[in-house]
Structure 1
Amino acid sequence: MTALGNPKPVRIGVLVVPPIQLLDLSPVDLFDMLTKEYLQACNLPAPLIALGVPISITHISFAGANSIAACTANVGLRINAGLSDASVKPGELDILLVPGTDPNTVPREEELDFVRKHVEAGVTLMTICTGIFVAAYAGVLDGKKATGSRALVSMILKKKFPRVEWSEKRWVQDGKMWTSGGITNGQDMVAAYIHQRWPGPVANTVCAMADVGNRSAEYDNGSVKENAWWVWQIFRAWTMGFRKTK
């Protein structure tokens, strides 16, 4: 439904479990590109601007409002709300997006409970790359189809979270659960969601401007070829290191 038929903003919460990957955070910007304000700033024709979608984005973390969350590339992200703030309590968000964190991080119980309660309240959950660990630790993916960073699916995720139905894809949708593979796969996932929820000119325009959404959910190469590529890169790195020590 367009903004003309539904003036209530789509409320998006971004759960930040620092440190996070800056590129994993970028897909949320596709949602902001749907707004009238963004379309107007791009000097697009009035009929397209009229189809803009009201979006509200809130960055959430355990540390609370006005704290700074560490990101890669020496960037700090200003947080808008804490886990217990009324503005982001269960039922107040339409979408909860979890960008990639350090895969070695075990989230706090407060963060995991935040995810569980929002899923129980019917939120659409989206994870990007290693953000999958937050959802998996919370247990909300048990019995669901999901994906994560391709290298980690076979090496870690299948072993650590055996109750999840893992697959190697750029993104996977299982009901209101949307999970994506590594980094820019999150952009593919959000583009697919945008096309599904707001089919038509505004979705097509935004994805064309961002040049995303052209890749399918399936990877171009199979697992055997992918694994062979990684083995080859490790072997090359080993031989280069060996030569330097001589």
Structure 2
Amino acid sequence: MSASPPPTRFAVALYPGFQALDVFGPLDILNLLSKRTPLSLAILAPTLAPVSTRTPVSGHTASQSVVPTHTYADSPSDIEVLLIPGGPGTRDPKYVGEVEDYVRKAFPNLRYLLTVCTGSAIAAHAGVLDGRRATSNKRAWDWATSQGPHVNWVPRARWVADGNIWTSSGISAGIDMMYAFVAEHFGEEVAGDLADVAEYVRNTDPDNDPFAKTDVKEKNGVAK
């Protein structure tokens, strides 16, 4: 458990075509945690219009929308932890360009940056992962890692914590990462209790990655 005071001011960066579980899984853990510890949560997006999980080319016939609390232009200045989800929208610059600009600007003032799935591709393209160890969705591995040629991509990891940057593998891995993040800052007992309330069986080993591609190897810190 970290010796520093735990973070209490969180935000999530949304864009059209975000993956639903990338967001709702980690945020539900924070919702439950907030019953024990007061937390604040800002939902950021380019505008205050509802943000959909679907885009014209995403292939979805069902979708959900989330109403932001702030735009990137007027985001709170005291955010401690920023969560970046992945999703089909990550592949379209018109959807994530503003997210990347915000990440570059906000990162120096954050205590922690967390990414789920191809959210790490956004962070990598923004340049904030350079020289860091990170992981991403194994089904999108080649594309995701191409977004950050100077990132030390870890091909077999459920999640990776490198200093104040935490990145996780595909979709549901964000839940395991968030429980680990809670355990680090609020205690293992708290994380375990929250998982019990959710009836969730945690993967507590960051190196246990059953979805890793067996033909991907790490070379000079960069997956090839």
| TM-score > 0.5, shorter chain as reference | yes
> Measured at CA, do residues 180 and 17 of structure 1 come closer, stay the same or move farther in structure 2, by a change above 3 Å?
same
> Measured at CA, do residues 167 and 101 of structure 1 come closer, stay the same or move farther in structure 2, by a change above 3 Å?
same
User: Within the alignment, does 1:224 sit opposite 2:214 as a pair?
Assistant: yes
In structure 2, distance between residues paired with 1:61 and 1:221: 31
In structure 1, distance between residues paired with 2:210 and 2:7: 37
Extract unaligned runs of 5+ from structure 1.
37-51, 227-246
In structure 2, distance between residues paired with 1:123 and 1:105: 28
Aligned match of 2:21:
23
Q: Displacement, 1:112?
A: 1.6
Q: Deviations over 1:38-92 (max 9, x none)?
A: xxxxxxxxxxxxxx111111110011x3x1001153211111101121x523xx1
In structure 1, distance between residues paired with 2:214 and 2:96: 36
Q: Please identify which structure carries the higher helix content.
A: 1
In structure 2, distance between residues paired with 1:187 and 1:124: 16
User: Within the alignment, does 1:183 sit opposite 2:171 as a pair?
Assistant: yes
In structure 2, distance between residues paired with 1:79 and 1:221: 32
Q: Displacement, 1:17?
A: 1.7
Paired residues for 1:100-111 under 5 Å: 100-102=86-88, 103-106=90-93, 107-111=95-99
Q: Displacement, 1:213?
A: 2.6
TM score, norm. by length of structure 2? 0.81
Of 5, 11, 14, 2:12 maps to: 14
> Measured at CA, do residues 123 and 101 of structure 1 come closer, stay the same or move farther in structure 2, by a change above 3 Å?
farther
Of 94, 102, 106, 2:80 maps to: 94
Q: Is the 8 A contact 1:9 1:54 kept in 2?
A: no
Paired residues for 1:111-130 under 5 Å: 111-130=99-118
Q: Displacement, 1:221?
A: 6.6
Extract unaligned runs of 5+ from structure 2.
55-61, 217-224
In structure 2, distance between residues paired with 1:222 and 1:134: 20
Paired residues for 1:63-82 under 5 Å: 63=47, 65=48, 67-72=49-54, 73-82=62-71
Q: Is the 8 A contact 2:86 2:118 kept in 1?
A: yes
Q: Which has the higher contact order (CA 8 A, sep 6+)?
A: 2
Q: Considering only CA atoms, is the larger Rg found in Structure 1 or Structure 2?
A: 1
Q: Displacement, 1:32?
A: 1.2
In structure 1, distance between residues paired with 2:85 and 2:187: 25
Q: Displacement, 1:225?
A: 7.3
> Measured at CA, do residues 195 and 148 of structure 1 come closer, stay the same or move farther in structure 2, by a change above 3 Å?
same
Of 146, 157, 160, 2:144 maps to: 157
State the aligned residue count. Answer: 201
Q: Is the 8 A contact 2:81 2:110 kept in 1?
A: no
Aligned-residue sequence identity (percent) comes to 31
Q: Is the 8 A contact 2:183 2:189 kept in 1?
A: no
Q: Displacement, 1:157?
A: 3.0
In structure 2, distance between residues paired with 1:108 and 1:183: 18
